[in-house]
Amino acid sequence: MILQRLKVFLDSHKVKYVVITHSQAYTALEIAALARIPGKEVAKSVIVKIDDKMMMIVVPASHMVDFNALQTFTGAQHIELASEQQFKDKFPECEVGAMPPFGNLFEMDVVVSSSLEEDEMIAFNAGTHKELVKMSYREFAQLVQPKVGKLSFPKRYSFAREMWDIP
């Protein structure tokens, strides 16, 4: 699985990290709650098609991608959210929707929301819906070399609403 490949990559770069195992969860905010990590420190990977090229956008769990800002930032003519069918083959070792934000391991460009730079640590899916990796944001940025911009905004509803459909 990708977790072993990710561990080898991180270990080869002498990165300190922890792997957190949690019960199965599918949304980044649900994972943050289970792992007791603030939603702004849990990074979620969003795959978009930018002028017909797949790109990984990484934003905090508590945020949404600002597609207008992303279009301005990239200078793209057309941006759309990629469907799982369109990108699942790019991440053969990962469960769909649980891709770690290491696009460089999948030959994919990565763009990160600048709001993730505000915290010392970052946590993210490790290729499954049951494992999370937590490490220094600074080391993550050194390894991935993402482009960084103001590309997201906070969600306007609470975790409780998302998890239990509270109106």
- pTM listed for this prediction: 0.89
Does residue 146 have a pLDDT over 90? yes
Asked if the structure places residue 66 within a domain, the reply is: yes
CB 148 within 8 A of CB 117: yes
What residue type is 17 in one-letter code? Y
Its domain, for residue 42, covers 2-145
CATH number at residue 125: 3.90.960.10
Asked if the structure places residue 152 within a domain, the reply is: no
CA angle 101, 107, 111 (to 5 degrees): 45
Bridge pairing between strands 121-125 and 42-50? parallel
Coil, strand, or helix at residue 74?
Answer: helix
Asked if the structure places residue 163 within a domain, the reply is: no
What residue type is 64 in one-letter code? M
Asked if the structure places residue 99 within a domain, the reply is: yes
pLDDT tens-digit readout, 50-83: 998 999 999 999 999 999 999 999 999 999 999 9
Report the DSSP beta bridge partners of residue 98. Answer: none
Bridge pairing between strands 131-136 and 121-125? antiparallel
Asked if the structure places residue 114 within a domain, the reply is: yes
Asked if the structure places residue 6 within a domain, the reply is: yes
CB 14 within 8 A of CB 92: no
For the chain, how many structural domains are there in total?
1
Across the range 151-157, mean pLDDT stands at 83
Asked if the structure places residue 98 within a domain, the reply is: yes
Asked if the structure places residue 155 within a domain, the reply is: no
Alpha-carbon gap, residue 84 to 8, rounded angstroms: 27
pLDDT tens-digit readout, 3-39: 888 999 999 999 999 999 999 988 888 888 888 898 8
Does residue 157 have a pLDDT over 60? no
What residue type is 126 in one-letter code? A
pLDDT tens-digit readout, 79-106: 999 999 999 899 988 998 899 999 999 9
Q: Is the dihedral of CA 114, 110, 17, 92 positive or negative?
A: positive
Alpha-carbon gap, residue 126 to 130, rounded angstroms: 8
